[in-house]
Structure 1
Amino acid sequence: MSFGDPNNPYGQQPPQGGQPYGYPQQPQGQPGYGYPQQAPQGVPPQAGYGYPQQPGQQYPGYPDPHQQMYGGRPPYAHWGLRFLATLVDGLVVMVAYLPMVIGAAIGSDASRAIFTLISLVAIIGVAVWMLVQEGRTGQTIGKKALGIRLLREVDGRPLGVGMAFVRRLAHFLDSIACYLGWLWPLWDSKKQTFADKVCSSVVVKG
């Protein structure tokens, strides 16, 4: 009498597909656990389990507002635009001198003192306001009128109020060498003054 296969004494049929009993069965067409899931064709993969995060990846349709389309960065502002912007800022500050002129025209000592004080307060107020605007937005009244902006060279962001103030002080370097630093943007590849180089700042269009 034959009892069948000695390795299979109970006569059980092996499962189809060649997988022995005791192993987890995987549905056909489904990848096993621990493998990254494949996104459907035509659908971009979502960052999640099994996919490494891409550093510095930006969402499409949301470009950096300071990165204009000019080779990945905005073009540098030439010397003429910078000069005209400075001229406009100077005219704005000169308006603050009007009370002093009016006081001098009136003639009395008391009126001159009052209008001089008004002018000093106005001059300081305008200077501080433009410094804050330049630090936070990169634009004074003159720069905004000419369509240029002061930014950090490293990342294209505004300098901040503190660094904008340091840059104002650094303009001393532009003046001590016979004002050569103010003319340096005429031939410099990045259109920078000496103060810009010290503070790692650039003036760009946009």
Structure 2
Amino acid sequence: MNSIDSQQGNEKYCFVGFWPRFWASMVDTIVIVLITLPLAHLVYGEAFWGSGRVAPLESDFLISYILPLVVVILFWLYKSATPGKMVIDAKIVDVKTGANLTTKQSLIRYIAYYVSLIPLGIGFLWVAWDPKKQGWHDKVAGTVVIYVHRGT
């Protein structure tokens, strides 16, 4: 079982593998959809559900990209986890110290999601065979996802 020593004592944590992280991301996706769809409906009305483009590019960009970025980063900064990671009892920490993420790390990690996604999602799949269960976005940001409970 993979674990790291935290600078916050000699606590050992276990790395979270691919499948638990996959399911956590599904929970996060549902949460984001539950936020953005009603907001889009509120802003655009019934036309949102019809065919064709009804949203000005700026509004669509704010609701579809900026709002999720802000929500996710705030969860990382204040809870060290998104709702999905909280469901699986996991959190994201600095790989070297075990400390909570900095704002800079959070921004880098979020932007690096796109780097992980672009080549057929291989950066996310990397979690499955990496010794520390890090995706490319984790490696770029210097983060790791661990279970909250102590390992043995």
- TM-score for the superposition, normalised by structure 2: 0.72
Q: Distance in 1 between matches of 2:114 and 2:37?
A: 24
Match of 2:46 among 103, 108, 122: 103
1:18-97 correspondence to structure 2 within 5 Å: 72-95=11-34, 96-97=36-37
Q: Which has the larger radius of gyration?
A: 1
- Which fold has the larger relative contact order, with Cα–Cα distance below 8 Å and residues 6 or more apart in sequence? 2
Match of 1:27 in 2: none
Number of matched pairs: 135
Contact kept? 1:74, 1:204, Cα under 8 Å: yes
The CA RMSD over aligned residues, in Å, is 3.2
Q: Distance in 2 between matches of 1:75 and 1:200?
A: 17
Q: Which has the higher strand share?
A: 2
Match of 1:205 in 2: 147
Contact kept? 1:170, 1:195, Cα under 8 Å: yes
1:122-201 correspondence to structure 2 within 5 Å: 124-125=66-67, 127-201=69-143
Report the Cα offset of residue 127 of structure 1: 3.8
Q: Which has the higher helix share?
A: 2
Q: Which runs of 4+ in 1 moved over 4 A?
A: 64-67, 120-126
Report the Cα offset of residue 154 of structure 1: 0.7
SS in 2 for 1:82: helix
Contact kept? 1:93, 1:123, Cα under 8 Å: no
**Where does structure 1 lack aligned partners over 5 or more consecutive residues?**
1-63
- TM-score for the superposition, normalised by structure 1: 0.55
Q: 1:105 to 1:159 in 2, by over 3 A?
A: closer
Q: State the one-letter code of the partner of 1:156.
A: G
Q: Distance in 2 between matches of 1:165 and 1:143?
A: 18
Q: Distance in 2 between matches of 1:88 and 1:135?
A: 19
